[in-house]
Amino acid sequence: MSFLKKLNEKYPLFMEIVRFVIVGGLATVADMLVMGVVLYLFDPDLYPHFYNVWYGGGEPSTLATVVGTGAGFTVGLFINYFLSVLFVFIEKGKSKSAYGFVMFTVLSLIGLGIHLVGMYIGYDLLKINEWIVKIVLTAVVMVYNYVSKKLILFKRSKTALTDAEEDVGLQRRVFGGEHMKKLSVIVPCFNEEATVEAFYTAAVPVFENFAERGYQFELIFVNDGSRDRTAEILASLAEKDKRVKVINFSRNFGQQAAILCGFRHCTGNCAVELDVDLQDPVEVVGEMLTKWEEGYDVVHGRRLTRKGESAFKKVTAKMYYKFLHGITGIKIPRNTGDFKLLDRKVIDVICALPEHDKYLRGLESWVGFKQTFVDFHRNERVAGETKYTLKKMVRLAKNGIVSNSSWPLTLSFKFGAVLGAASVLCFITFIVLVCCGITLPLTAWLFPAIAFCTGALCVFNSLTNLYLSKAYDEVKNRPEYIVEDKINFDE
């Protein structure tokens, strides 16, 4: 995998073409499989009664070919479009919009037309071997598809990050003039009685050493409704060290809410998100501060290795973030999590956003500004077990998609566009066949069309309900969390 990653970084255009060829091959295989299934179902020797009802007086081979071609093209088009957006092209351009999908369909239909005209000229008129014509035309159409879609749909566009890099007016906000800068460390906790003291013992000496670089620090623990002795231990730490600040929630509201609460209460020039289990080494914070001093506003911690995590979690996380980037355009850096440093102005922007149920990992990339990475090796937990269950991960993934993309809602339009294009293609084909004297009973399409459309409506209705549920949560205007009490805060 690292070899492919190096190839992709060194030869991005070549690897993009390779991915395009692979996706095109998968779409072609799907096209042929669907057509084969249709031809199999339309075999009069297998289904004589179905054959008599379906065909009437029509020519079976002709109708089966027409239906199979249309169905195969539609399925292949869907596969080609979604895989192209998600995996093939580096630049997304206008591809994820409704306009982009319509143009993708039109360009694909033009490619199909080139193929059909080429077959007619090469095979029927010039009498060249059909397989030679087929191979040459496949290569020609593939080049046409890549060039046309690259130039029209997947053109490079400015990203928010590029805009921020070009904006020379963005200056770092420094509190207190020439006084010491402050680092805020935000640590969410949920049932972590086994790790809190170990974290404090390991982290505080590291942060105290930053005084040589002109930093003071505050340690903000957000107790996310723990049911064990976490609150008691935190209170004890805060009593003996006034740099330790504690926020206790009235119940469990989730890690994202805890981090957001820390953002709203921190007073530092910059803030670091840290897990209390010490999987993210606190020593890396020093490297993050160096990057921040160089002018970066967001410094992501990028994991080179991830000890203690299952293969299932690694694979599903990679697939999810790739899918999220494909449908939203928000590129959450690979192999990163909540361990990162944010400048004060980034924190202020995120806290000022009016939406509820914020998906911070997406927002921290969405806001733009100048971003970079610090690589590290992730450790195993010092004690206890992870509190991020599969249920919580699924909930976080769902929130990430719904909060950052309206893409599922556009599926109905895209699906309708494909059906419309396929219907027009079939209609034109039917006219040609009727002109040739072939009778086609159009009523045969009625019942499967109704069943198919009903199923599609059910799917899209469920997606719409998902967004209505999200809007309902926003309209309720409930707070993301409820603070029960705070320790060592001035107010």
Reported as a single tens digit per residue, the pLDDT across 58-92 is: 444 455 555 666 666 777 777 777 777 777 765 55
Beta bridge partners of 187: 221
| pLDDT score of 274 more than 80 | yes
Most confident of the following: 2-6, 156-160, 221-225, 477-481: 221-225
Residue 185 parent element (H or E): strand 181-189
**For residue 141, how many C-alpha atoms fall within 13 Å in the half-sphere facing its CB?**
22
| Per-residue three-class SS string for 411-430 | HHHHHHHHHHHHHHHHHHHH
Q: Where are the alpha helices (DSSP H) in 266-343?
A: 284-293, 311-328
DSSP assignment string, 444-467: GGHHHHHHHHHHHHHHHHHHHHHH
| pLDDT score of 346 more than 70 | yes
93 vs 475 pLDDT, higher one: 475
pTM above 0.85, yes or no: no
Domain positions in the chain are 2-159+408-475, 174-405
Taking a C-beta distance cutoff of 8 angstroms, is the pair 361, 334 a contact? no
**For residue 97, how many C-alpha atoms fall within 13 Å in the half-sphere facing its CB?**
8
The model's pLDDT over 424-434, given as tens digits with 9 standing for 90+, comes to 566 566 556 55
pLDDT band of 318, cuts 50, 70, 90: low
The listed CATH number (3.90.550.10, 3.40.190.10, 3.90.850.10, 3.40.640.10) that belongs to domain 174-405? 3.90.550.10
